[in-house]
Amino acid sequence: MKRIAIGQAGGPTAVINTSLAGFVENLPEDVQLYTVENGYEGLAESKLQRADEKRIEEILAARYDSGAFLGSGRYEFTEDKIIQAVKNLKAFGIDSLAFIGGNGTMAALEKMEEEARAEGMSLQVIGIPKTVDNDLGMTDHAPGFGSAARYAAYSVRDISRDLRSMRNFERVRILETMGRNAGWLAAAAGALVEEEACILCLPEQPVSLRSMTDEVGERLKGQETLVVVVSEGVEWDGESQISQATIGGRVVLGGAAARLQEALSARLGIFVRSENLGMNQRALSLAVSDTDRREAYLVGEKAARLLAEGVSRKMVCIERKPDIRYNVHIGSCDLQKVKDAGERIMPQEFIQDRQRFYEWLRPLI
């Protein structure tokens, strides 16, 4: 009986367990499923578990839960660890490996497949896309992003309205979003307010504290209140990104909004609040988008079908059809191409024309 392993890697999304359920629920009857605990760590340290009926029921019951049900986490998946991972998969007799993750995961799957081949073992690998940052190439967008974008967009709209009503007390609020080196989420945050109601600071564009405080000061001459959205990945004045910590080689970004808040308070002499939209961007179940939920399931399902078809070295992807209504095809592409595409930042056409970006975004949130 074919042995199939499934794992989840990296930061969770609010719909990552829906992809897991989509995968598990659509596997052929005659396979034995194994689950990998804590992502790459589970591969490298041989934490694989044979999934019996009870376990499968638990997985399916968690389909609407936030967090990665199998355990995900961060782990430096070095060359040595990858070699060990392949040995472990071999020891468990695993024929096929599917992983839900982002850029790092797609690259890791490719490497494991190569390593297995070098060892004379055949390992079928399929990647299932997931990222709130939307920085994955070769797919129109990745599951997880729509819900994060929805949370950010509603937050900015509702916090703007709250701010407007407090205009005799405070006039500027700064909100920090996730996104790493890409501005997708920060840009999405402005989707439900009028363009002049918020300034967006994206990592794709040079930003300086001086010009931003100038701009805020200028805007406040003509309008009562203003929200500034700051992506965690911006580099103020071309200096490096601001981080909270570096753990196991992983930089945890955070603090870009607080830096602007200090500068604005000092420069304009007014009370300015800065807030981080925080973990809820990837976790809040109340904010999940219907489209995102549905597509998260479909990419999991598609991965199961690809495995059954004997396809390997592919990532499931979402292809948007040029249709008047929102219409997508769930397809697949080479892992190699995902790797070659690299970290996907916002294209200039979206940065230059916010409304065009919001037309693209609207069906997702």
For the annotated catalytic residues, the residue numbers are 133
Q: How far is the CB of 66 from a copy of itself (least distance, A)?
A: 4
Comparison of 262 and 343: residue with beta carbon closer to a copy of itself: 262
How do 31-36 and 124-129 pair as beta strands?
A: unpaired
Smallest separation (angstroms) from a copy of itself to the CB of 39: 8
DSSP 334-358: EHHHHHHH-S----HHHHH-HHHHH
Place of tokens 């690998």: 125
C-beta closer to a copy of itself: residue 220 or 351: 220
Give the binding site for a copy of itself (CB under 8 A): 8, 11-12, 14, 38-39, 41, 65-75, 150-151, 154-155, 157-170, 173, 244-245, 247-248, 250, 252, 271, 273, 275-280, 282-287
By C-beta, is 273 or 305 nearer to a copy of itself?
273
Q: How far is the CB of 346 from a copy of itself (least distance, A)?
A: 25
CB of 271 to a copy of itself, least distance (A): 5
- Tell me the C-alpha distance between 121 and 138, whole Å: 28
Name the residue with tokens 């999304």: 13
Cα–Cα distance, 169 to 74 (Å, whole number) = 42
- Shortest Å distance, C-beta 138 to a copy of itself: 26
Give the CA dihedral 6, 331, 353, 154, nearest 10 degrees.
Answer: -40
CB of 308 to a copy of itself, least distance (A): 28
Name the E strands within 155-303. 172-177, 198-201, 226-231, 243-247, 250-253, 272-276
What is the side-by-side order of every strand in the sheet holding 48-50?
Answer: 48-50, 31-36, 2-8, 96-101, 124-129, 314-320, 328-334
d(CA 100, CA 110): 14
**Residue 172, class by beta-carbon neighbours within 10 Å (0-12 exposed, 13-18 middle, 19+ buried)?**
buried
Q: 193 or 307: whose CB is closer to a copy of itself?
A: 193
What is the C-alpha separation between 203 and 184, in angstroms, rounded?
A: 10
Residue 108's closest CA among 153, 138, 78, 150? Answer: 78
Q: Which helix (H) or strand (E) holds 331?
A: strand 328-334
Nearer to a copy of itself (CB atom), residue 82 or residue 287 = 287
Helix (H, G, I), strand (E, B) or coil at 363: helix
- For residues 13 and 332, which CB has a smaller minimum distance to a copy of itself in the complex? 13
Q: With respect to a copy of itself, which residue has the nearer C-beta, 282 or 344?
A: 282
| Minimum distance of a copy of itself from residue 100's CB (angstroms) | 12
